[in-house]
Structure 1
Amino acid sequence: MTNNVSIEDVPLNRFHQLLCIRSGGGWVLDGYVLSIIGVAMVPLAATLGLSGFWQGMVAASALLGIFCGGFLGGLLTGRLGRKKLYFVGPAIFVVCSLAQYWATSGEALFFMRFLIGIGVGFEYPVAGALLVEFLPRKYRGPRLAMLTILWFAGAALAYVAGNAMLESGRPDAWRLVLASPAVIGVVLLAIRLGTPESPRWLLSKGRTAEAEAIIRDVYGATFSLRNLPEQAAEAKVSLLCLLHSGYGKRMLFVSVFWSCSVIPVFAVYAFAPTVLQALNLHGDWASYGSVAITLLFVVGCIVATRLINVIGRRSMLIHSFLWSGLALLALGACSDSSPMMVLLLFGAYALFIGGAQVLQLVYPNELFPTEIRSAAVGLGASLSRIGAAIGTWLVPISLQTLGIAQTMYAAAGVTLVGLLVALILAPETRSLSLQEAASLSR
């Protein structure tokens, strides 16, 4: 017995929910491992005697690693499959996080966090590709957006857990802070056991029997390859298509908007206590302010996830860049205001940038066909981290030479560039199937 229901239109089942947990756990860990350096930076810099240059290098090292890992992970995920690469990132997190405990120099921390960044870079293409290739179209946008929420949840957890460890008073507390992601990594490796390969990827490699078996296992005995009609219609395109025609334009859009949405955010997370102190927030204001702003990032992403299928991708991106950019401009103008005003403006930025944050995985996974989807996501992640790494490295230098007001103006400028790109290039993919969203003919 068979049916005619496309797997793009089935309701969510237990497998979908479990896959969301498996992929979502990776994003919790990504947010935690990338943000935990901000918690440990002040005590580790004092213990190891790091200059402003090396503080910036250590903070930016993971972003440089993402540049390498995103590109490499995207290519390998397309060639070797999603399943094999699903365990690489968590394994790197466990080993390198533990190794940070014994670091004795800025160079050693730079190397370990560079490798951690490679692991994060692997996560972007593999976790997103698995989700988008299994999820029904109705849930694709919200569930991909959910990954960004979980990233900020991981970041918030890093500040809460990290500050708690620092307050223990142990002389090696900052080392425990940097080693702590290993615990989450071990749990993530365990829950990912048993994840199947993507049927769409198997079909793109001509492995139809394996694809059919997985479809029946995931969706039920009445489903088969006939319930995946759009796969046969997808054009066989190579990675070179990213460099010309419509896919080159899409790659440009994804890379620039992704860069403009992450540069200020990563700069804030790497030096949150330092930035807040420059804005006249000291003591508990700075410590709890970091947690509060992170939670507002989570709230902003939750609101954006609720609205993504209501107002559409394009409109959300435009409004997100517009209002968050204005909030950063106001922060620059009011840099010497009261702590409460600073927190309100920072909170406004955190809320409004949520729309751009959740679209970082939605757009690139929808705009490219199966054969180059993971490579496109990996390349977008890589290119976006070049600017993020440079911006993060420049933050302590900018604070020392230009001051906090000019630093906030620069962040606002980056955000408003994202607005301009969104106005010119952002497409609308709401309610489209994967084939329709990735098609160059629409």
Structure 2
Amino acid sequence: MRTRPLKVALLGCGVVGSEVARIMTTHADDLAARIGAPVELAGVAVRRPGRVRAGIDPALVTTDATALVKRGDIDVVVEVIGGIEPARGLITTAFEHGASVVSANKALLAEDGPALHQAAEAHGADLYYEAAVAGAIPLVRPLRESLVGDKVNRVLGIVNGTTNFILDRMDTSGAGYAEALDEATALGYAEADPTADVEGFDAAAKAAILAGIAFHTRVSLDQVHREGITEVTAADIRSARRMGCTVKLLAICERAQDGNSVTARVHPAMIPLSHPLASVREAYNAVFVEAEAAGRLMFYGPGAGGSPTASAVLGDLVAACRNKLSGARGPGESAYTQLPVSPTGQAVTRYHISLDVSDKPGVLAQCAMVFAEHGVSIDTVRQQGKAAAPEGAQPGSDAATGSDGEASLVVVTHRATDAALSATVEALRKLDTVRGVASTMRVEGE
């Protein structure tokens, strides 16, 4: 074993960073044995140096992160401060001074991943980021390495624990969105400002990273269609239950059927209770990868938190240190396919549409005509009102209507392009007999 230790600079010492430092200290002997050399924490950059940090030598703490990464004797920089700047500048500076980088920064990687990969390549350094997607779940490395010889066609999953907790509570307890969010905040699953989670920004960044790796093409954050969960209602949850479904916020990255383009999208969707993702509860994450040769693979586990995320960081740290010792390089960016990213309108999906309509003869026939005009086939229809539809009533049948008044019409479509389905909804809004579109939700995972 080499006696000179490999030196590590830690940028950030919050929930994740402090756990990384703790594991490096308590498991020092095991890490040295696995790597082939001792690993030494050489410096910790923080914003508030006066705070007591258990287990960390105060002499290692600095507020000058730039000076730390410029030292020249640092072998690996671990970046867990998050955000775009100063993280981007610090990572680039680390590469310029010969250090490899381990990052958990999904926002930066989604926005500027190609430039970071180019900088790493130019300076012969590694860039690892397992912790940027799905916490402790090994997902990035299997896509970059284990499945690199296969053709991945689809990645479908739950990649945000906060939203999964909220939707799970709405499903299991009957709580409304606001009540479920309050509980998530009280338990520490949601931040004081939950916007990044509940509006889908966090999941969209992860989708961009996953799509880029899976399809060997560059996918930027602004190319990911994004919808959050703030508009999901208790009525949507009940409708899903009547269909034998539950509601999840999904990240979906897939190749077009002709293989010539890809789409990446994040939105709430109904999935059948028979689908394995339906049983993912609390703040857990799970991701399906569908590959040509390997078939369907599922990755499941805690997607956030100090210890789970630190586990992913340490795995990358070991890999980066081993490469330093052997003079090898880890996998870099693979974007050779240069596939275009199509708008979400070209994605093929199903819709669950809830309409408030006039409860009178001919309404259902009018609505069915709109679906037909847009080339969208209806799977099922359910009406509730003063005269609910008799069992077995067919679309377009006046038996499904009754006296003038108010009624709720729920339509589930067959698969069609998202653009056609969206145009259908907009046309329905213009009907005199449609008083409003109560909700629209995609149906996935079948």
TM-score by length of 1: 0.24
Higher relative contact order (CA 8 A, sep 6+): 1
Point out the structure with max Rg over C-alpha: 2
The structure where helix makes up a greater share of residues is 1
- Give the TM-score normalised by structure 2: 0.24
